[in-house]
Structure 1
Amino acid sequence: MIEIRTPRLILRRWSEDDLVPLSEVNADREVMRWVDDGSVRDLDRTAEDIERYEEEWDDEGFGIFAVELIGSGELIGLAGLSVPESLPELSAEVAISWRLGRQFWGQGYASEAAHAVLEFALQDRGLGRVVAVTHLGDAASENVIGKLGMTSERQMTHPVLDVPLHVYAIDLTEYEG
């Protein structure tokens, strides 16, 4: 079982106990503002998401981790790697992403989790490159992306949602954590 520990977080695979806390994160409009079309997700949709995350682990050897606080064991969100299948232009890439409950914003958890995910991508999975995709205007994600050392690569339009996206990338052979 894959598990990553940082000074304050545990990144791990999903369990049944994670469904309700993640559905609470996904039900917050402000959290979901920059995710896909901005819609909140109910318990059933969250269960489908977790099932998809676990399938990607089985299929790809990487995926989206559950992120919990070491001290309390509380699930605070997610972070990990995925193939951005909804973006055909990037379907050959591996993308990093994260989503935390609003009460955990502004405390460095997203950056801490994302750094751990990049180290996992390079050291454990041998990936040479990772991308990040944001909606234009998502300043908080762009702040984390900057801390990761990712650079702007291009802009594109989501083929279904017709929203402008910004693509960042990092060559992991140059990543210095």
Structure 2
Amino acid sequence: MTEIRTPRLLLRRWHDDDLVPMADINADPQVMRWVDDGSVRDMEQTAQDIERWEEEWDEEGFGLFAVELLASGELAGFTGLSVPEFLPEVASDVAISWRFGSQFWGQGYASEAAHATLEFALQDRGLDRVISITRMGDDASENVVRKLGMAPEREAVHPVYGFPLSVHVIDLTEFQA
């Protein structure tokens, strides 16, 4: 089983008891504001998401980690790697992404988990580069991107929803682990 420990977090594969807390995160309009069209997701949709994320682990050898707080055992959200098939111009890349419950915002968890995920991408999976796709105006995600040392590569438009996106990249040979 793939696990990563940071000073405050455990990044791990998904467990059955993650469904309810992840569904709670996905049901929060504040959290989902910058995701796709901003719609919240229900329990069934979240179960389908987790199933798809686990399948990606099996198919690609990487995926989205469940992020658990070491101190409390709470599920805080996810971070991880995926193939951004929704955006044709970067569909051959591997993207890092994250989503955390609003009660966990502003505490550095996303940056801590994302940094560990980039180390995993470089050292464990041997990737040369990783991208991040953020929706323009999502200042919190842009802040995480900056902390990771990612540089702007291009702008794009979401092919379904039409809003502007920013694609950042990091060459993992230059990543400061």
TM-score, structure 2 normalization = 0.99
Tell me what 2:68 maps to: 68
Partners of 1:106 and 1:144 in 2: CA distance: 11
Tell me what 2:33 maps to: 33
The alignment covers a number of residue pairs equal to 177
Tell me what 1:147 maps to: 147
What are the equivalent positions in structure 2 for 1:1-177 lying under 5 Å apart? Answer: 1-177=1-177
Partners of 2:74 and 2:85 in 1: CA distance: 30
SS in 1 for 2:44: helix
Partners of 2:56 and 2:42 in 1: CA distance: 21
Unaligned ranges ≥5, structure 2 = none
Partners of 2:135 and 2:112 in 1: CA distance: 21
Partners of 1:86 and 1:48 in 2: CA distance: 17
**One-letter amino acid of the structure 1 residue matched with residue 92 of structure 2:** A
Partners of 2:110 and 2:7 in 1: CA distance: 13
SS in 2 for 1:168: strand
How much has 1:26 moved relative to structure 2?
Answer: 0.3
Please provide the CA RMSD for this pair: 0.5
How much has 1:175 moved relative to structure 2?
Answer: 0.2
Unaligned ranges ≥5, structure 1 = none
**One-letter amino acid of the structure 2 residue matched with residue 164 of structure 1:** P
How much has 1:160 moved relative to structure 2?
Answer: 1.1
Q: Could you give the per-residue CA deviations for residues 139-166 of structure 1, whole angstroms, max 9, x where no partner exists?
A: 0000000000000111111111111100
Partners of 1:127 and 1:36 in 2: CA distance: 26
**One-letter amino acid of the structure 2 residue matched with residue 27 of structure 1:** A
How much has 1:100 moved relative to structure 2?
Answer: 0.4
Q: Could you give the per-residue CA deviations for residues 4-32 of structure 1, whole angstroms, max 9, x where no partner exists?
A: 00000000000100000000000000101
Q: Could you give the per-residue CA deviations for residues 101-159 of structure 1, whole angstroms, max 9, x where no partner exists?
A: 00000000000000000000000000000000011000000000000000011111111
